Amino acid sequence: MSTRVVVDPVTRIEGHLRIEAILDDNSHIGEAISSGTMWRGIEVILRDRDPRDAWAFCERICGVCTTVHALASVRCVENALGIRVPQNAEIIRNIMFLTQMVQDHVIHFYHLHALDWVDIVSALKADPDKTAALAQKVSPSFPLSSAGYFRDIATTLKKYVDSGQLGIFQNAYWGHPAYKLPPEANLMAVAHYLEALKWQKEIIKIHTIFGGKNPHPNYLVGGIAAAISMQSDNAINMERLNYIKGLIDGATQIVEQMYIPDLLAIASFYPEWTQVGAGLGNYLVYGDIPQNGISDVSKFRFPRGAILNKNLSEVLSVDPTDTSQVQEEIAHSWYEYSGGKTSLHPWEGETSPKYTGPKPPYKQLDENARYSWLKSPRWKGNAMEVGPLARMLVGYASGKTEFKDVVNDALGALKLPATALFSTLGRTAARGLETRLAVRWLLDEYNNLVANLKAGDSSTADTSKWDPSSWPAETKGYGFTEAPRGALCHWIHIKDAKIANYQIVVPSTWNASPKDGKGQRGAYESALIGTPMADPQRPLEILRTIHSFDPCLACASHVISPDGRKLSEVVIVP
């Protein structure tokens, strides 16, 4: 009889996710289902409101990847109203975007993912002197590498464990045979878990400077709310710029001297994880970080494109305005479509929630029935993976030198072929490599801002379309971004100065989606197939692969309208 492994809640993620895996006789995963177990209905709540307020509602879809929905939303409204934001606003939004990406990726690596690879209990056996030697070898320039520093960390850890109150570390999988790091590497990782926890609150102050707070900084349709004046102590000025520059320098050190060396060191102990977790092999990227306005796709730092079947010799063209490309299916989702339809464009948005799952409390879901609050978005009929690996592959396959260099550096250091990227470890590595690019671009964008200010431009907002009396009676638009977890797009229909319809297709819906009508699995499900499990009672291997995607379920599962009301049709205005 086959073994069924249920992981619910999947922890160290955002939101509520359930995974069920069915093992074959060799303890390999033969079937897997991914179920989003919450929804909130933000799109319905948006209806009839002022489009200029939409960013604030959308931002609350997620507080982990805070800002990304706000950014997509202001772009969406600006697209509908024909607003091009001033260059300073574009650069500042890029700075906020990159700040988010760097901070979020570092938190993911250390606080949400590292404990899948790092055994805290083993760290108790580490010799601080040997740990210092290891740290200095792995990252010669990083200052926190003395034996005394690691002795302090070891003492803190020992005291904590001796207290008998293990808090968030209790009842976990310590000693599991899949943990491979030596004690010293484990202690180094524990030290950096704590360093990253201290640092994440620093870099994010860039959001506070421009947006007043974090989480959930303020955005503005038409630009940014913070004004710039070099002659004022009450605006973005030299003091604020210096503050930002210092934070970027700090981030560069953390990424280059801590995160990347740790990533490569840990990866070197887990070469077998380049053979596990490849999944779909299909990748989708909308692109982002505009250098000449959001409509000039050719000038994005993250290029747009799609890859099918791991074919890196061809980058397919993607157009979010082409209504035939993205479709949502509900064959295994708790919804129904009218007239027996099986697949709809997101802007047709016909969504009737219809829970047909077991009555809670339940023990298991039925993989042959409907089993998730997530729909199944598909691109030209294909299930797609989105996120850092997709972005790095599309950049790499597009022949962008920056992408090729960081990828080839890492592969060279680990002595791995490019195909190693198609894996759980490849996905985790891609996130780190992307962070290297992001922190460089952060400095570039800061320099762009200073250059633009030196050129005499201090404008931060275009207010020509602020007043709703300047708007057409009816208009439609879309706004996209590359959230830390992948491609994100919002669609809006504005009528009589109010939101008539708002639609969102988010990264984790792509990745965590259930099977579609053709039986094609979503990215999580697909990546789990074939994974060997050493001990089904302790599902460490499942966590490794699922965490490699950095799930964000609050994002994924908001995309609903209740009561079977048909959302009005939106035609995309290019």
Partner 1 sequence: MGLDAAMLPQVVSALETKPRLPVIWLHGLECTCCSESFIRSSHPIAQDIILNMISLDYDDTLQAAAGFQVEEIRQKLIKEHPGGYLLAVEGNAPTADGGVYCTVGGDTFLNVLTETAEHAKAIIAWGSCASNGCVQAARPNPTGAKPVHQLISGKPIINVPGCPPIAEVMTGVLTYILTFDALPELDRIGRPKMFYGQRIHDKCYRRAFFDAGQFVEAWDDEGARKGWCLYKMGCRGPTTYNSCSTFKWNNGVSFPIGSGHGCIGCSEANFWDNGPFYQRLSSVVVPGIEATPDKIGTVLGVATAIGVGAHLTATVAHRLSKKPLTDKDQPTADKSE
- Residues that are catalytic: 14, 62, 65, 69, 485, 508, 552, 555
Number of CB atoms found within 10 A of residue 125's CB? 13
Closest distance of CB 438 from partner 1, Å: 19
Residues 354-413 that bind partner 1 (CB under 8 A): 355, 357, 359-363, 373
Distance CA 256, CA 251 (A): 8
How many angstroms separate the CA atoms of 378 and 345, rounded?
A: 10
User: Could you tell me which stretch among 137-145, 171-179, 255-263, 309-317 binds partner 1 (CB under 8 A)?
Assistant: 171-179
CA 549/CA 202 separation, integer angstroms: 25
The answer for residues whose C-beta is within 8 angstroms of residue 329's C-beta and 6 or more apart is: 342, 343, 375, 376, 377, 378, 516, 517
Number of shown-chain residues binding partner 1 (CB under 8 A): 109
Three-state secondary structure call for residue 220: strand
Instruction: For residue 377, give the 3-state DSSP assignment.
Output: strand
266 near partner 1, rule: CB under 8 A: no
User: Smallest gap, in angstroms, from Cβ of residue 63 to partner 1?
Assistant: 2
Q: Write the Ramachandran bin of 373: left for phi over 0, alpha for psi from -120 to 50, otherwise beta.
A: alpha
* 171 forms part of the interface with partner 1 (CB under 8 A): yes
Q: Give the DSSP letter of residue 496.
A: T
From 72-80, 205-213, 303-311, 436-444, span contacting partner 1 (CB under 8 A): 205-213
Site residues for partner 1, 480-539, by CB under 8 A, read 496-498, 538-539
Residue 155 as a binder of partner 1 (CB under 8 A): the answer is: no
Least separation in angstroms between CB 40 and partner 1: 4
Min dist. Cβ of residue 78 to partner 1 (A): 13
Contact status: 66 vs partner 1 (CB under 8 A): yes
Residue 293 CB coordination number (10 Å): 12
Q: Could you tell me if 146 and 135 are in contact, meaning their C-beta atoms sit under 8 angstroms apart?
A: no
Q: Does 469 bind partner 1 (CB under 8 A)?
A: yes
User: Residue 565 gets which letter from DSSP?
Assistant: P
Q: Which of 26, 165, 313, 324 binds partner 1 (CB under 8 A)?
A: 165
* Structure tokens given for 385: 């993976």
The closest alpha carbon to 429, from 487, 485, 388, belongs to: 388
| Stretch touching partner 1 by CB under 8 A, among 202-210, 375-383, 441-449, 508-516 | 202-210
In this structure, what are the phi and psi dihedrals at residue 527, rounded to the nearest 5 degrees? -70, -25
Centroid of chain to Cα 506 = 10
- Name which position in 68, 188, 204, 297 contacts partner 1 (CB under 8 A): 204
In contact, 147 and 132? CB cutoff 8 Å: yes
Q: Which tokens hold the place of 13? A: 């993620």
Q: Cis peptide leading into 182, omega within 30 of 0? A: no
**253 lies in the binding site for partner 1 (CB under 8 A):** no
Of 210, 294, 224, 219, which is closest to residue 461 (Cα–Cα)? 224
115 binds partner 1 (CB under 8 A): yes
| Peptide linkage before 261 cis (omega within 30 of 0) | no
Q: Which is nearer to partner 1, 360 or 456 (CB)?
A: 360
Closest approach of Cβ 416 to partner 1, in Å?
28
- Residue 225 or 572 with smaller CB distance to partner 1: 225
- Span interacting with partner 1, options 281-289, 313-321, 426-434, 467-475, rule CB under 8 A: 467-475
Q: Where are the alpha helices (DSSP H) in 335-465?
A: 388-397, 401-414, 424-454
Q: Is 229 in the site for partner 1 (CB under 8 A)?
A: yes
Q: Give the residue with the Cβ less far from partner 1, 163 or 309.
A: 163
Alpha-carbon distance of 503 to 492, in angstroms, equals 6
User: Considering only residues 29, 39, 437, 512, which one is a binding residue for partner 1 as defined by CB under 8 A?
Assistant: 39
Nearer to partner 1 by Cβ, of 133 and 227: the residue is 227
One character per residue 206-225, x = contact with partner 1 (rule: CB under 8 A): -xxxxxxxxxxxx-x-xxxx
Smallest separation (angstroms) from partner 1 to the CB of 427:
19
Q: Interface with partner 1 by CB under 8 A: which range of 164-172, 183-191, 310-318, 479-487? A: 164-172
Residue 562 binds partner 1 (CB under 8 A)? yes
**Single residue of 309, 368, 519, 563 touching partner 1 by CB under 8 A:** 563
Q: Is residue 167 part of the contact set for partner 1 (CB under 8 A)?
A: yes
Instruction: Count other Cβ atoms within 10 Å, centred on residue 299.
Output: 14
Residue 365 vs 430, nearer CB to partner 1:
365
Among 25, 26, 143, 198, interactor with partner 1 by CB under 8 A: 198
Which stretch, 271-279, 301-309, 402-410, 452-460, contacts partner 1 (CB under 8 A)?
Answer: 452-460
Given a contact cutoff of 8 angstroms between Cβ atoms, the answer to whether 492 and 477 are in contact is yes
Residues 6+ apart with CB under 8 A from 476: 80, 491, 492, 493, 494, 570, 571, 572, 573
Q: Which of 4, 7, 400, 450 binds partner 1 (CB under 8 A)?
A: 7
